[in-house]
Amino acid sequence: MTIFSVRHVTEYRYNRPVHFGEHRLMFRPRDSYDQRLLDATLICDPDPQQIRWIQDVFGNCVAIVDIARPSTSLRFETWITIDHTPQVALDLEIDEAAATYPFSYDPEEEPDLERVIQRHYPDQSDEVAKWASQFVALGMPTPTGQLLMTMCCAIQESFSYARRHEAGTQTPQTTLSSRKGTCRDFALLMVEACRSLGIAARFVTGYVYVADRDGSTTRGGGSTHAWCQVYIPGAGWVEFDPTNGIVGNRDLIRVGVARDPRQAVPLYGSYDGGPTDFAGMSVQVNVTTRPTDH
């Protein structure tokens, strides 16, 4: 087991004092068998009038912050500490009936998976499905684990990682045609590719630990990270990080899950003013670690 500490600072700057609307933060990790939250702290400047917590429709923890007074800056600093157990899913324990693709989901589970099996983005030329089909053997069953691992690594090896300052996530078709994108773009591409094959998949937001950011081959450090989970009978929800070719939760700190990236934005809110009032923003994420004694 490993103890991860995450410091995440976001600061907005304005050319004049502005009033702020409600802000929603998704930074508190999801407790599970492989990660256990030890501590979570939220610091806001200006001081908030109120902070309240809710669980959204997916069970993610969301902090809703109300800022009382106007200011020329707005700063959020969050700290989390978790006990993390790495799971390297190289040999997935898959139900025999789902060991090869194509397979069918259990009739008891299928209604609950229906919305994450359905595709969410129009694709008139079916480019995403055509791309996904290359990982399926012609005329014979394809090992399910091999299919998903190969798809994950193909994105990591064949697409160029490029940070983008614009907010949001580009469509899977744009990622395919440009062959480049951010971690959110790659995660969404794999989600939609899996769905085109009738496999349940969902979007994940969180953090990635990069042991040595100088010269490291792990991409996505210094900011929030994104990947996907695929539901495999017998194995459950399995992490696939196509940005780094990671299968399993190694170095991945899961914060939120959703059907679509728009439902898993780490921080968003509003201010009362025009576009020229906004002077810029900065984001910094630091993930550090220490081993436990057991």
Whether the predicted pLDDT of 74 surpasses 50: yes
Amino acid at 148: L
Domain match, 26 and 144 both: no
pLDDT of residue 56: 97
- Domain membership of residue 275 (yes or no) is yes
Domain match, 114 and 227 both: yes
Residue 236 sits in a domain whose CATH number is 3.10.620.30
- Domain membership of residue 197 (yes or no) is yes
Domain match, 199 and 241 both: yes
Domain match, 275 and 147 both: no
pLDDT of residue 293: 55
- Domain membership of residue 144 (yes or no) is yes
Domain match, 250 and 283 both: no
> What's the Cα-to-Cα distance from 194 to each of 24, 138, 189, 190, 273, rounded to whole Å?
30, 17, 9, 6, 42
- Domain membership of residue 89 (yes or no) is no
Residue 24 sits in a domain whose CATH number is 2.60.40.2250
- Domain membership of residue 191 (yes or no) is yes
Domain match, 106 and 235 both: yes
Give, rounded to a whole angstrom, the gap between the first and last alpha carbons of the chain.
7
- Domain membership of residue 188 (yes or no) is yes
248: left (phi over 0), alpha (psi -120 to 50) or beta: left
pLDDT of residue 177: 95
Domain match, 121 and 135 both: yes
Output the CA angle 29-35-38, nearest 5 degrees: 70
Q: Give me the residue label for tokens 């899977």.
A: 172
Average pLDDT over every residue of 173-180: 96
Q: How confident is the model at residue 165 (pLDDT cuts 50, 70, 90)?
A: low
Q: How confident is the model at residue 215 (pLDDT cuts 50, 70, 90)?
A: very low
pLDDT > 90 fraction of the chain, expressed in percent and rounded: 85
Domain match, 271 and 252 both: no
pLDDT of residue 91: 64
pLDDT per residue as tens digits for the range 84-110: 998 866 567 899 999 999 999 999 999
Whether the predicted pLDDT of 217 surpasses 50: no
Cβ contacts of 137 within 8 Å, gap of 6 or more: none
Whether the predicted pLDDT of 292 surpasses 80: no
pLDDT of residue 132: 98
Whether the predicted pLDDT of 81 surpasses 60: yes
Domain match, 28 and 118 both: no
Output the CA angle 151-156-158, nearest 5 degrees: 85
- Domain membership of residue 233 (yes or no) is yes
Domain match, 133 and 59 both: no
Domain of residue 195, residue span: 96-263
Domain match, 204 and 169 both: yes
Q: Which of 236, 256, 238, 255 is nearest to 247 (CA)?
A: 238
Domain match, 220 and 276 both: no
In this structure, are residues 242 and 227 in contact, taking their beta carbons and an 8 Å threshold? Answer: yes
pLDDT of residue 163: 83
Instruction: Pick the more confident residue, 210 or 232.
Output: 232
Q: How many domains does the chain have?
A: 2
Average pLDDT, the chain: 92
- Domain membership of residue 90 (yes or no) is no
Cβ contacts of 253 within 8 Å, gap of 6 or more: 4, 6, 29, 35, 80, 82, 84, 206, 207, 208, 209, 287
